[in-house]
Amino acid sequence: MDFSKRLQNLPTQFFASLVAKTSKAIAEGRDVINLGQGNPDQPTPDHIIKALQTAAADPKTHKYSPFRGIAELRQAAVNFYKREYGVDIDPDLEVAILAGTKIGLVELPLALLDPDDLLLLPNPGYPDYLSGAPLADIGYELMRLNPENGYLPDYAELTGSIRSRAKLMYLNYPNNPTGAVATKEFFDETVKFAKDNSIAVVHDFAYGAVGFDGKKPVSFLQSEGAKEVGIEMYTLSKTYNMAGWRIGFAVGNSKMIEALNLIQDHFFAGLFPAVQLAAAEALNADQQCVDELVGLYEKRRNVLVAECARIGWNIKAPQGSFFAWLPVPEGFTSVEFADFLLEKADISVAAGSGFGDVGEGFVRVGLLVDETRIIEAVNRIEALKLF
């Protein structure tokens, strides 16, 4: 039996190829320093684990969860947004619980768009954003994120034809892969652009907790009128090292939230209640563990920047996320340089072109190994005499 056209039209999974190359090198017994991954390397904080253990031991959590999430987790999301960003959220109308925000990002085009509509996506951007387009049988346009504009889209570059057909736009700050951050002024501009062109906005706030140099990343929902045009998706994967737990939520515009909840009513039957209760504990509890984690990433960032400068590799320090965006030396494409580092230095990085053609000329490095391994990686690169 043949796959459906929707499956046949899915993009090649970029990270699958990267993982395969890295795994092959490791299987050969090589000491690979894996800077290409986006998987947090620290454990989930103890108080969250204990909350899961307690909840899992309670027979009440062994039953089906409500389709739209337990009240405790919806309220925890409300508490979190009020405490962290000063944003008021209705727990019944403006919250959708997700089994990881990737699900929401991929399924939302199915819930909101028709075949003649366009989805606007960032370039470079998280590769899995692309998956929603063929599954919803819609077209998409890529918005260039240029370094000279701080890796923010310039809406003036979008033609009238694109604006008239576009119905949904994805943004992501702090940004994967560039580490750039957005300002409130940019989000204010985005709200106006969305209203003027009847375009719904999804802000992927996956790295919302990770801002450096004492600067807290801005929430899209902090801009006046943001809930009139869009939603924000927040995952617990990065903030609380809960990547394998697969839990997050969306908040904001009630119609978009209802669309998300409605499609999930048909695709899913709720998350394990014990995981939801543990997630509520993470959001409600003291946030010292988050502050410590951000401090750890900032120390790693500073070591990377200093070591690269020492060998003559001038890189721009990321302002947020746990990624750095490094320029490729002359004479290499992004893929060639990534392959060269793996072959000659046993270092795995992600080729920038895998995030879109604007990513050509860069590689993405994760701050997800300890400082000694970062230093060792730069020492290995120094020995290649590229700089």
For residues 309 and 266, membership in a common domain is answered with: no
**Residue numbers of the domain that contains 235:** 62-284
Q: Is residue 21 part of a domain?
A: yes
- Torsions phi, psi of 166, nearest 5? -70, 130
306-321 burial, b if ≥16 CB within 10 A, otherwise e? Answer: ebbeebebebebbbbb
Residues 327 and 348 in one domain: yes
Measured between alpha carbons, how far is residue 4 from residues 7, 8, 14, 134 in Å? 5, 6, 21, 11
Same domain, 10 and 150: no
Q: What is the pLDDT along the chain (387 residues), one digit of tens a residue?
A: 899 999 999 988 777 888 888 999 999 999 999 999 899 999 999 999 999 999 999 999 999 999 999 999 999 999 999 999 999 999 999 999 999 999 999 999 999 999 999 999 999 999 999 999 999 999 999 999 999 999 999 999 999 999 999 999 999 999 999 999 999 999 999 999 999 999 999 999 999 999 999 999 999 999 999 999 999 999 999 999 999 999 999 999 999 999 999 999 999 988 999 999 999 999 999 999 999 999 999 999 999 999 999 999 999 999 999 999 999 999 999 999 999 999 999 999 999 999 999 999 999 999 999 999 999 999 999 999 999
Q: Is 321 found in the same domain as 202? A: no
Same domain, 137 and 278: yes
Question: Any idea which residue has 């046949």 for tokens?
Answer: 8
pTM of the model: 0.96
Same domain, 277 and 362: no
**Within a domain: 51:** no
- Domain-embedded: residue 305: yes
Number of domains in the chain: 2
Q: Is residue 53 part of a domain?
A: no
Residue 190 shares a structural domain with residue 270: yes
Contacts of 124 (CB under 8 A, 6+ apart): 145, 177, 178, 352, 355, 356, 358, 359, 362
Q: Of 228, 255, 284, at which residue does a domain stop?
A: 284
52 falls within a domain: no
Are both 19 and 156 inside the same structural domain? no
CATH code: domain of residue 235: 3.40.640.10
Q: Is 304 inside any structural domain?
A: yes
CATH of the domain at 315: 3.90.1150.10
Residue 357 shares a structural domain with residue 273:
no
Report if residue 54 sits inside a domain.
no
* Domain-embedded: residue 49: no
Do 296 and 258 belong together in one domain? no
Looking at the structure, tell me whether residues 125 and 268 fall in a common domain: yes
